[in-house]
Structure 1
Amino acid sequence: MLEIAETTVSITRVTVSSGRPFDEVVAAVYAGLGRVPDFGELVARWSAARDAAEFETTVGAATGSSGLIEFLSLDLGAVLTMRDPARSRRLLRIIAGNPVTMSSMAASVPDVGSYAPVTILVAERAEGTTLSYDRVASAIAPYASDEATAIAEALDAAVLVLLHNAAA
């Protein structure tokens, strides 16, 4: 039987503005993230963990000062420049997360997998550089899980510290 359900999710977006150049802001974000040369190899190490403690140790060793790991970065600005040079801008989507944090939230709210890992959007604008982030706690609010919400709020706080540090 096929069943379709819809849930309205209200997202709170935080945008931090900086007068710093785009490259400096991006470098500062990356400085707070764990970055590995071969993400596939890292995932293979996670998968080979014998138990939760070894998994958490492997993840912890890969995180940056924010507690997050860069999973993927997408240069959206390159595509924009190629398709519409007159309106080009530098635009970078950084997908980052921590599988221990995600799994802790998903244990009580499986739908959190739609929001973690998180996206950080760095955009070059006429007035400077902005960093945007959608709060995970706002996205999972409809699921009314105190446990997942507390973890999401801690994740949101960590991301916001990263963004503020990158913008300063």
Structure 2
Amino acid sequence: MKLDHGEILRKETELDTPKIVRFLIGNPLIMKEMAKHIPDTGSYAPVTISGDEGLDGVNLPYDKMVSLLDPYGNPDALAIALYLDSKIKNFLRESAM
């Protein structure tokens, strides 16, 4: 899913900037596996990636799933979260090429 946060700001200023987009991406099957161990996973998945175009280029910050689930202390869920984080990192790296 794509949400254009910049559009709200552009309407106010009638300029072409800022360009800020929020993406919700993920595989429901991976979320299901984490939810077996931590039901609250639905609060964090799908993963949110924010994209903004600045003077230094495009920034794509996101919260790593492992950091969101770490406080629950469930090693099985954390292993899945690490896998998901690596998939997101690879996706972003490949998308930038």
TM-score by length of 2: 0.92
**Aligned residue-pair number:** 97
Match of 1:99 in 2: 28
| CA distance in structure 1 between the partners assigned to 2:8 and 2:57 by the alignment | 20
Question: Could you tell me which amino acid in structure 2 is paired with residue 128 of structure 1?
Answer: G
User: What secondary structure is seen at the aligned counterpart in 1 of 2:37?
Assistant: coil
| CA distance in structure 1 between the partners assigned to 2:72 and 2:37 by the alignment | 9
Question: Could you tell me which amino acid in structure 2 is paired with residue 91 of structure 1?
Answer: I
Match of 1:82 in 2: 11
* 2:91 equivalent to 1:132: no
Segments of 5+ residues of structure 1 without an aligned counterpart are 1-71
User: What secondary structure is seen at the aligned counterpart in 2 of 1:141?
Assistant: helix
1:31-50 superposed matches below 5 A:
none
Higher RCO (Cα < 8 Å, 6 or more apart):
1
Percent of aligned positions with the same letter in both sequences?
38
Of 75, 92, 95, 1:163 maps to 92
* 2:91 equivalent to 1:149: no
Report deviation, 1:84: 4.0
Match of 1:22 in 2: none
Report which of the two structures shows the higher radius of gyration computed on alpha carbons. 1
1:9-28 superposed matches below 5 A:
none
1:67-78 superposed matches below 5 A:
72-78=1-7
Report deviation, 1:80: 1.3
User: What secondary structure is seen at the aligned counterpart in 1 of 2:62?
Assistant: strand
Give the RMSD, CA atoms, in angstroms: 1.5
* 2:74 equivalent to 1:118: no
Segments of 5+ residues of structure 2 without an aligned counterpart are none
Question: Could you tell me which amino acid in structure 2 is paired with residue 147 of structure 1?
Answer: D
Greater than 3 Å deviation, 4+ residue runs: 84-88
Report deviation, 1:83: 2.4
TM-score by length of 1: 0.54
Report deviation, 1:136: 0.5
User: What secondary structure is seen at the aligned counterpart in 1 of 2:67?
Assistant: helix
